[in-house]
Structure 1
């Protein structure tokens, strides 16, 4: 028999996983510092004019934070705070990670890695609010519900978009993705040519994403969907090099599992 999580257990797990996600994201950008250092291809001076629509004081604050080397120092502090948050919970820690992640999104014209950054902000915001009211079970419950519903909706919306495109049913869409991977692999190239296999996997992905909200209805369903979800995200991360595609969603899974156990 599956054992449901308590609200405190779910929140604790969310905090640990999202802290690890923030640590890895900051570390990744620290390792990429050459591209935004002086002489790099993504220097702040090239992007700063795009923010001229903001008031002068806002432009100065943003430039002082996101220019080099200030941005590198921000990332180093993010990594330190995230490492600390792996073991300790406090609203200041998660609030700092939220603001830092938001500033990083501004630095990269909205997001550095699309939906993964959005999900990171969503979870960090929720755990920050929950830690601001540690004695309120109602606030914690609301934060867990918010994360679970948003994560489930993200799968459903992704599935709905795919369901409206015929190339997902024929295997063409998945084959195109496999051919565009950053890694050269003879196995992937052969797989990309096997239309019947791609068609089956295309259907499976669409059905999985569209039906994912059912995970909220029963703890056994949740366990199955979450295992499939981890496998899906890990496979995509390995094949396409999207190393941010695993932990932000995994951080939502304790909330989904908790909600499923309320039935």
Structure 2
């Protein structure tokens, strides 16, 4: 208890908490985009439940990993060398997660560009299996993003309570933002392709990080923000064109 009171009275601890919350929220954007795209493929009645389960799993995984910080530190120790770079468990997990993300995003892009024709029977079969499949895929990426998130937190502060509060706040923000983000993506088809492009970029970054090529995340998120800004301007232009066309129609 004295330890917690000491932290609460320490301005440096509050600064570390604020910084870590921002970092965790930013790192959670990748996870949230993936969850939103996947759950939008489900029937509307089950989407919200799938998002809650997916984000709940992200919180559980992060808290479990926080409870085993000593184990998490060991994940960064090299197991063997490949091309002159020592690969650790963390590297292998990032590479596997990145490859999965690239495969999934490529598959979704192909489906959006050239959707396959399905008869009613096959569509019903896919729908019956989709909820479990979606949750499983979310769980896989939750694990990858959680490991990256917690190792980032461990590198920023030594205080477990600060990490726990930052993780809980960040996941709460994800939970609040999940519904509006998913509805926004569904209502704007061009955003889906942009989001899938983001996932391709993030997957490539994870693979590069796994092989020791450090890419400052600020560059990645700046590129994503710029792309989103350009797409936002395109949306405003299309909306203005529709209003102009509607105003020009005879009554």
Fold shared per TM-score above 0.5: no
The two structures have a TM-score, normalised by structure 2, of 0.28
Q: Which has the larger share of helix?
A: 2
Higher relative contact order (CA 8 A, sep 6+): 2
The two structures have a TM-score, normalised by structure 1, of 0.27
